[in-house]
Amino acid sequence: MLYRRIRDLREDHDLTQTQMGKILSCSQRVYSNYERGELDIPTEILCKLARYYGVTTDYLLNLSDVMWPYGEEKDP
């Protein structure tokens, strides 16, 4: 599920919701609503998340378990 993946990525990077809000130019409350699935994530924000974490949007959307863009390999 998208919401679980963005929470897990944030926690894996030791970031708070407030910090993610600043990175995405939104409030902590809005970001929290994204993580809880109470607010749909706009395409622009989804793309920012993918670029920030270096993962595919397919991964964020739970359409693929492949995190990294095709042709790229990263160490876990």
Tens of pLDDT along 13-70?
Answer: 999 999 999 999 999 999 999 999 999 999 999 999 999 999 999 999 999 888 876 5
- Domain harbouring 37, CATH code: 1.10.260.40
- pTM of the prediction? 0.84
Cα–Cα dist 35/4, whole Å: 7
Cα–Cα dist 29/59, whole Å: 24
Domains identified in the chain, total number: 1
Residue at 40 is within a domain: yes
Residue at 32 is within a domain: yes
pLDDT at residue 73, as a whole number: 56
Residue at 19 is within a domain: yes
Range of the domain at 45: 2-60
Q: Has residue 75 got a pLDDT over 80?
A: no
pLDDT at residue 74, as a whole number: 55
